Amino acid sequence: MRRKTTARLGLPALLLAAACAGTGLASTASAAPAAPRGESQPLASAGLLKAMQRDLGLTPAAARERLADERQAVRTERAAKKAAGAAYGGSWFDADRGRLTVAVTGRKAAADVRGTGADVRVVRRGAAQLDAAKARVDKLKAPKGVASWRVDPKANSVVVDVVEGHRADNDVSAFLRRARATAPVRVGTVPEVPSTFAAGTVGGDPYYTGNVRCSIGFSVHGGFVTAGHCGQAGAGVRGWDGSTIGSFQGSSFPDNDYAWVSVGNGWWTVPVVLGWGAIPDRLVKGSAEAPVGSSICRSGSTTKWHCGNLLAKNETVNYSGGAVVHQLTKTSVCAEGGDSGGSFISGDQAQGVTSGGWGNCSSGGETWYQPVNEILQRYGLTLHTA
Assess whether 255 carries a catalytic annotation: no
Assess whether 340 carries a catalytic annotation: yes
Assess whether 257 carries a catalytic annotation: yes
Query: Within 85-225, where are the H helices?
Result: 107-114, 127-138, 170-182
CA distance 327 to 346: 19
Which are the contacts of 120, defined by CB distance < 8 A and separation ≥ 6? 101, 102, 103, 104, 110, 113, 114
Burial code (b: 16+ CB inside 10 Å, e: under 16) for 301-335 equals bbbbbbbbbbbbbbbbbbbeeebbbbbbbbbbbbb
Which one, of 259, 235, 245, 234, lies nearest residue 354 by Cα?
A: 259
Cα-to-chain-centroid distance, residue 245: 24
Please tell me which residue in 55, 69, 112, 257 is annotated as part of the active site: 257
Please tell me which residue in 221, 229, 306, 384 is annotated as part of the active site: 229
**Would you say the C-alpha torsion 237, 286, 306, 296 has a positive or negative sign?**
positive
CA distance 46 to 304: 17
Backbone angles phi, psi at 379, to 5 degrees: -105, 5
- Angle at the Cα of 251 from the Cα atoms of 249 and 253, rounded to 5 degrees: 170
The two counts, helices (H) then strands (E), for the chain are 8, 23
Residue 234 to residues 23, 240, 242: CA-CA distances in angstroms?
A: 21, 19, 18
Q: Using an 8 Å Cβ cutoff, are 91 and 156 in contact?
A: no
Please tell me which residue in 295, 340, 346, 355 is annotated as part of the active site: 340
Q: Using an 8 Å Cβ cutoff, are 345 and 284 in contact?
A: yes
Active site residues: 229, 257, 340
